[in-house]
Amino acid sequence: MQLVKAEPKTESMPLATLEHLLEQIAGGSMDAFARLYDLTSARLFAIAFRILRDEAVAQDATQEAFVNIWRKAKLYDPARGSPIGWMSVIVRNVALNMIRADRPTEPIDDLDIPVAPVDPPDSRLGHCLKQLPADQRNAIVLTYTYGLTHSELAEHLSVPLGTAKSWVRRGMLTLKERMLR
């Protein structure tokens, strides 16, 4: 199948037709898959291109999304949303995963993170901090000792913002629990 850029045709496509095609694909119909591809590939490519801003990479993402659609067709549930919405989420996730995979990462243990400039005011605090996983401990030290915001922390550690926030939150909850013992 050749990816052809064209105007999305799903606006005029009855919802029932796309649902029926997904049912047939779940049963292994290659003809239904080819028809679904013809009807939706331009729209899904547009979503991938909007995220990735590179035609070749967006084509790869669209192709990978269609492989996922083929594999997951049985999981589609019309009660949870439209077929095009379901497929759009798949292509969006593939595109975002491609961005994440392309981003250079550095293992947290290899980062040169300075030790807190002062001793903890409570020796128990220092002891409890040392018991935390390295990612949580470093996130807490950088946030509360060096005053980094969650955004700055995420950038400094080269992790998504949500990951940085969860490291701080989980670390603080564990620290609180251990301090209360």
* 137-164 pLDDT per residue, tens: 989 888 887 788 888 888 888 889 899 9
pLDDT of residue 8: 46
**Domain boundaries, position 62:** 15-102
Close Cβ partners of 114 (under 8 Å, ≥ 6 residues apart): none
Range name among 1-5, 152-156, 164-168 with the lowest pLDDT average: 1-5
Among 102, 137, 170, the domain boundary falls at 102
pLDDT classification of 107: cutoffs 50, 70, 90: low
Please tell me whether residues 113 and 171 are part of one structural domain. yes
Please tell me whether residues 32 and 53 are part of one structural domain. yes
Please tell me whether residues 55 and 92 are part of one structural domain. yes
Please tell me whether residues 20 and 84 are part of one structural domain. yes
Whole-angstrom distance, CA of residue 64 vs CA of residue 91: 8
> Residue 101: which of 93, 89, 109 has the closest Cα?
93
CATH number at residue 83: 1.10.1740.10
Please tell me whether residues 82 and 159 are part of one structural domain. no
Question: How far does CA 8 lie from the centroid of its chain?
Answer: 25
pLDDT of residue 141: 86
Please tell me whether residues 68 and 112 are part of one structural domain. no
Model confidence pLDDT, tens digit, residues 35-79: 999 999 999 999 999 999 999 999 999 999 999 999 999 999 998
- Please tell me the total count of domains within the chain: 2
Higher per-residue confidence, 20 vs 111:
20
Residue in the structure block whose two tokens are 């077929």: 83
Please tell me whether residues 33 and 94 are part of one structural domain. yes
Please tell me whether residues 59 and 113 are part of one structural domain. no
pLDDT of residue 76: 93
Q: Is residue 58, in this structure, part of any structural domain at all?
A: yes
What is the pLDDT averaged over residues 27-33?
97
Please tell me whether residues 95 and 27 are part of one structural domain. yes
Q: Is residue 2, in this structure, part of any structural domain at all?
A: no
Q: Is 40 helix (H, G, I), strand (E, B) or coil?
A: helix
Whole-angstrom distance, CA of residue 20 vs CA of residue 41: 17
Question: What average pLDDT does the structure give for the chain?
Answer: 85
Please tell me whether residues 39 and 24 are part of one structural domain. yes
Whole-angstrom distance, CA of residue 99 vs CA of residue 151: 18
pLDDT of residue 102: 77
Among 76, 102, 128, the domain boundary falls at 102
Higher per-residue confidence, 7 vs 136:
136
Close Cβ partners of 72 (under 8 Å, ≥ 6 residues apart): 90
pLDDT of residue 119: 53
Whole-angstrom distance, CA of residue 64 vs CA of residue 87: 12
Distance, first Cα to last Cα, the chain: 63
Please tell me whether residues 23 and 54 are part of one structural domain. yes
pLDDT of residue 123: 76
Q: Is residue 8, in this structure, part of any structural domain at all?
A: no
| 50 token code pair | 């909007």
Q: Is residue 90, in this structure, part of any structural domain at all?
A: yes
What residue type is assigned to position 39 of the chain?
L
For the chain, percent of residues with pLDDT exceeding 70: 82
